[in-house]
Amino acid sequence: MIVSMKRYATKAEIETVCERIREFGYKIHAIEGEERVVIGAVGVGDVTNCLESLEALPCVEKAVRISAPYKFVSKEFRSTRTVIRINNGTGLEIGGDEFTVMAGPCSVESEKQLMESAIAVSRAGAKVLRGGAFKPRTSPYDFQGLEEEGLKLLKKAREATGLAIITEVMSDRDVSLIAEYSDIMQVGARNMQNFALLKTLGKCQRPVLLKRGMSSTIKELLMSAEYIVAHGNPNVILCERGIRTFETATRNTCDIAAVPVLNELTQLPVILDPSHATGKRSLVPALSRAGVAIGADGIIVEVHPCPEKAVSDGAQSLHLEEFDRMMNDLRGYIALWKQSRMAEAAMV
Ligand code: PEP
Ligand code: MN
């Protein structure tokens, strides 16, 4: 259930409400807002009586039940977009009125490869540099990533360009190490339901980009996001990266409808990954345009100075010049995207 307090409710009033919620057998999970406090509670109890009893209190504006199984990430809980501030000193926000482009190589391979990529994507207008240092590979014989050495190279690239960093975390044991280097923690498709990892990320305040599992439903994606938020970290960004179907013409099937579906169900930002969704570099510009047009908050794209020599995902990585061209082509679409965001903001 969610309980909205009247404007400027006092600390004592908030505590009285929390006490009453607990008496009915519910657990307080989040208290949000400064001017107007909203209390979230979950559990099993006498919901009708609890809501009635809370609404009878003069300091309570409204108490409602959340019907979705995911509570804190549902639109019933939050009526405005979740804008996620990235703490890299540039004022970067995801989910607000700027379309965010994240780009970089699939894997961090060397200082030269990463720096060339970082400089090129930054010049082209990306704001976040991606690059895997811990790689989830299907074969144990494939390149597994440079690990901490890769994280150090990402830090160097961040210092040189001012780009924020996103890199994958595969295990709960690595969360604190990766949080030292990365502005955004990426949870890969293969770990979307690694609940130990999700819980640990909940205790860390770094923004998390949660990728949809390749065989996961939208509801399961939202339930995984709920794990992170319920454990204390509200800074979750969702990512559609294609799902497994019978189709073999593309590496995965891009579930483009997932973007507006998620926009109907949650206020969390949604990012589209056209690279893993298709597996083919020639398809990435069209899918990126689709992402802008359909109302994603951004895209995450793989690039490489020499994709033919990439240790992972070369076939779907854009050459740096191709990325630059794509960004130029996207400019007009992004301007329209911005107009519609502004119009939406003016309506609320
Ligand atoms: C990646 O971003 O390189 C990656 C492994 O993505 P996914 O988890 O979507 O397969
Ligand atoms: Mn990849």
* Distance, CA of 69 to CA of 64 (rounded, Å): 14
Q: Angle at which helices 11-23 and 47-55 pack, to 10 degrees?
A: 160
Asked if 271 contacts 297 with a C-beta cutoff of 8 angstroms, the reply is yes
* Distance, CA of 50 to CA of 40 (rounded, Å): 13
* CATH number for position 132: 3.20.20.70
Give the tens place of pLDDT for each residue, 69-81: 998 899 988 889 9
Residue 264 shares a structural domain with residue 303: yes
Give the position of tokens 């100075």.
Answer: 305
* CATH number for position 40: 3.30.70.1140
* Distance, CA of 78 to CA of 235 (rounded, Å): 13
Which of 139, 241, 287 to mutate to test ligand 1, by most ligand atoms within 8 A of the CB atom? Answer: 241
Provide the residues around ligand 2 (an ion) whose CB is within 5 A.
106, 313
**DSSP of 225-288:** HHHHHHTT---EEEEE--B--S--SSSSB--TTHHHHHHHHB-S-EEE-HHHHHS-GGGHHHHH
Residue 29 shares a structural domain with residue 170: no
Residue 30 shares a structural domain with residue 104: no
Contacts of 221 (CB under 8 A, 6+ apart): 192, 210, 212, 213, 238, 262
For residue 30, the model assigns a pLDDT of 66
Residue 156 shares a structural domain with residue 254: yes
Number of domains in the chain: 2
Residue 48 shares a structural domain with residue 141: no
Residue 54 shares a structural domain with residue 122: no
- Let me know if residue 8 belongs to a domain: yes
Q: Find, among 144, 156, 196, the residue nearest to 175 by Cα.
A: 196
Residue 144 shares a structural domain with residue 288: yes
- Vertex 77 angle, CA 95 and 79, to 5°: 50
3-state secondary structure of 18: helix
Domain end marker among 16, 34, 64: 64
Give the tens place of pLDDT for each residue, 137-182: 999 999 999 999 999 999 999 999 999 999 999 999 999 999 999 9
Write the residue with the smallest CA distance to atom 6 of ligand 1. Answer: 188
What is the CB < 6 Å shell around ligand 1? 106, 132, 136, 188-190, 211, 241, 276
Give the tens place of pLDDT for each residue, 176-203: 999 999 999 999 999 999 999 999 999 9
Q: Is residue 36 scored above 80 in pLDDT?
A: no
Domain limits for position 19: 2-64
Q: Is residue 34 scored above 70 in pLDDT?
A: no
- Let me know if residue 74 belongs to a domain: no
- Let me know if residue 77 belongs to a domain: no
Residue 53 shares a structural domain with residue 172: no
At 13, list the tokens: 């009033």
Higher-confidence position of 305 and 345: 305
Residue 37 shares a structural domain with residue 92: no
- Let me know if residue 236 belongs to a domain: yes
Give the 3-state secondary structure of 40-109: EEECCCCHHHHHHHHHCCCCEEEEECCCCCCCCCECCCCCCCCCEECCCCCCCEECCCCCEEEEECCECC
Residue 109 shares a structural domain with residue 33: no
- Let me know if residue 291 belongs to a domain: yes
Residue 27 shares a structural domain with residue 165: no
3-state secondary structure of 300: strand
Residue 51 shares a structural domain with residue 195: no
Beta-bridge partners for 309: none
Beta strands 2-5; 84-85: pairing state: unpaired
Give the tens place of pLDDT for each residue, 86-120: 988 889 999 999 999 999 999 999 999 999 999 99
Around Cβ 36, how many Cβ atoms within 10 Å?
13
- Let me know if residue 71 belongs to a domain: no
Q: Find, among 101, 233, 105, 207, the residue nearest to 163 by Cα.
A: 101
Report residue 230's pLDDT band, with 50, 70 and 90 as the boundaries. Answer: confident
Report residue 128's pLDDT band, with 50, 70 and 90 as the boundaries. Answer: very high
Q: Is residue 31 scored above 80 in pLDDT?
A: no
Q: Find, among 241, 245, 253, 243, the residue nearest to 296 by Cα.
A: 241
Question: Which ligand sits nearest to residue 214's alpha carbon?
Answer: 1
Write the residue with the smallest CA distance to atom 8 of ligand 1. Answer: 188
